């Protein structure tokens, strides 16, 4: 006698456990995977919309309408400083994608930042035209070095659309080529970090040479116009500020969409257990390359927004120290959180501006202290500290209100 068992009803299984499904034959099961989290919570969306409205209305009002005598007037210095910090925040967000979610500590992201800056800087130098010191079609540094024509790689840089294409492609292509050979060779950990640092150091030495056609140690400066508008005009500065803010918001949302997707889950699995992921049939190379290349392109965009606001780009932006500082921003804010690196970039660079203004000789000691104490006292950064404080506050409120805990 044969007995056939058929699942006639669907029962509620614990979260993540196999859930019985209705079938025609023997009972079948489907793995109940965790649902994809929302891009942002309702409260976060409301806060973001409120911030966008406040910045979008408040900055033009305070910078262009209110007189300089007003306490709420936004000066050029304050706007430039805040715009620079937002560019750093975009770069920190880019680094968090590869370090916080993919487990790749890059000490060479300063190179991608600088490449984006140089790409837009070439356009800005061409925009000077005959307004330069020598009144030549060539940039002033080329006339000074007795150049008679533009190098071939400068062709097309007089067009803004071409320069913007270079901003994205230059760092992205370099990152893809570097990542393909490095990740395929399965270089990991501290060895990969050292190689990225060596890459940016070699590029810095290359750009320092006068014969390379990138201005040598002086780089590019003395910009006059962007898209035909005076670059120092308050209206132009305001537009650049708002563009930087919009890019930061869009970059955060795009990064959030990536890490909450199925692709993001695989990338996080690469960080947590790459060998086990390979046993499951995944090839980590493609996922690593995607995140690495997207991160580099995002850094290039940050550099392109940085240069017209600060007014200069030179090889010092590629120094290994700058890339190490980016890692500090992410560590201070809390890697693997996206919002944490943004907070860390503002916090560390805000402290840097304060110390260099009032205690310039102590800034490097303060930076070294951060580098030592953060891993010891704040292993999860500011965001980790905020989470712990929130949990403790919740526990105290729960006990005070007499609400039984989960074990009651």
Quick one: which H or E segment has residue 406? none
pLDDT number for residue 24: 46
What's residue 245's pLDDT?
97
**Residues 333, 343: contact at Cβ < 8 Å?**
yes
Q: For 183-194, how does the pLDDT look when each residue is reduced to its tens digit (9 = 90+)? A: 999 888 899 999
pLDDT confidence of residue 28: 52
Average pLDDT over every residue of 162-178:
96
List C-alpha distances in Å: 209 to 65, 138, 167, 212, 213: 45, 18, 22, 6, 8
Dump pLDDT digits (tens) for 95-127: 999 999 999 999 999 999 999 999 999 999 999
Share of the chain above pLDDT 90, in %: 63
- Other CB atoms within a 10 A radius of the CB of residue 372 amount to 9
Select the more confidently predicted residue: 380 or 221: 221
Q: Could you tell me how far CA 12 lies from the centroid of its own chain?
A: 42
- Res 393: pLDDT: 87
- CA distance from start to end of the chain: 49
pLDDT for 13 equals: 40
pLDDT digits (tens, 9 = 90+) for 218-252: 999 999 999 989 999 999 999 999 999 999 999 99
Sign of the four-CA dihedral 245, 247, 378, 106: negative
- pLDDT for 377 beyond 90: no
> Are the C-beta atoms of 153 and 356 separated by less than 8 Å?
no
pLDDT of 19 = 44
CA-based torsion, 174, 90, 239, 305: positive or negative: negative
Average pLDDT, the chain: 87
CB 304 within 8 A of CB 119: yes
Query: Is residue 17's pLDDT more than 70?
Result: no
Q: In this predicted structure, which of 6-20, 40-54, 298-312, 340-354 has the lowest mean pLDDT? A: 6-20
Residue 5, pLDDT score: 41
Give the distance, in angstroms, between the CA of residue 207 and the centroid of all CA atoms in the same chain: 23
- Helix segments in 318-362, DSSP class H: 320-333, 339-358
Nearest CA-CA partner of 73 in 307, 238, 229 = 238
Residue 225, φ and ψ in degrees, nearest 5 = -140, 160
pLDDT at 6 over 70: no
Q: For residues 144 and 242, which has the higher predicted lDDT (pLDDT)?
A: 242
Q: Residue 37's pLDDT band (boundaries 50, 70, 90)?
A: confident
- At residue 356, the pLDDT reads 83
Q: What is the CA radius of gyration of the chain?
A: 26
So what's the pLDDT on residue 361? 81
């Amino acid at each position: 006698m044969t007995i056939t068992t058929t699942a006639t009803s669907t029962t509620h299984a614990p979260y993540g456990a196999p859930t019985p499904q209705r079938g025609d034959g023997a009972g079948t099961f489907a793995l109940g995977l965790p649902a994809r989290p929302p891009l942002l919570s309702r409260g976060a969306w409301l806060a973001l919309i409120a911030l966008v409205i406040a910045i979008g209305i408040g900055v033009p009002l305070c910078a262009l309408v209110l007189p300089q005598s007003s306490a709420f007037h936004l000066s050029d210095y304050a706007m430039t400083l805040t715009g620079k910090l937002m560019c750093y925040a975009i770069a920190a967000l880019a680094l968090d994608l590869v370090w916080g979610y993919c487990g790749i500590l890059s000490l060479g992201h300063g190179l991608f930042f600088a490449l984006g800056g140089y790409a837009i800087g070439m356009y800005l130098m061409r925009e000077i035209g005959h307004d330069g010191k020598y009144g030549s079609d060539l940039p002033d540094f080329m006339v000074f070095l007795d150049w008679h024509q533009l190098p071939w790689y400068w062709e097309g840089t007089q067009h803004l659309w071409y320069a913007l294409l270079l901003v994205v492609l230059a760092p992205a292509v370099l990152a893809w080529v570097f990542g393909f050979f490095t990740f395929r060779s399965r270089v990991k950990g501290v060895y990969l970090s050292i190689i990225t640092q060596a890459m940016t150091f070699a590029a810095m030495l290359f750009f320092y040479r006068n014969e390379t056609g990138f201005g040598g140690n002086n780089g590019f400066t003395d910009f006059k116009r962007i898209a035909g508008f005076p670059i120092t005009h308050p209206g132009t500065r305001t537009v650049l500020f708002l563009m930087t803010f919009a890019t930061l918001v869009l970059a955060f949302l795009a990064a959030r969409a990536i890490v909450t997707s199925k692709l993001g889950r695989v990338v996080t699995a690469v960080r947590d257990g790459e060998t086990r992921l390979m046993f499951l049939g995944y090839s980590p190379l493609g996922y690593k390359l995607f995140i690495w290349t997207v991160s580099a392109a995002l850094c290039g965009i940050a550099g392109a927004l940085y240069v017209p606001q600060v007014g200069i780009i030179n090889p010092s932006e590629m120094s290994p120290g700058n890339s190490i500082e980016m890692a500090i921003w992410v560590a201070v804010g809390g890697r693997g959180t996206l919002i944490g690196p943004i907070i860390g970039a503002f916090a560390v660079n805000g402290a840097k501006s304060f110390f260099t203004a009032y205690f310039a000789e102590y800034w490097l000691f303060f930076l070294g202290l951060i580098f030592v104490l953060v891993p010891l006292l704040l292993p999860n950064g500011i965001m980790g500290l905020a989470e712990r404080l929130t949990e403790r506050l919740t526990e105290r409120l729960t006990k005070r209100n007499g609400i039984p805990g989960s074990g009651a």
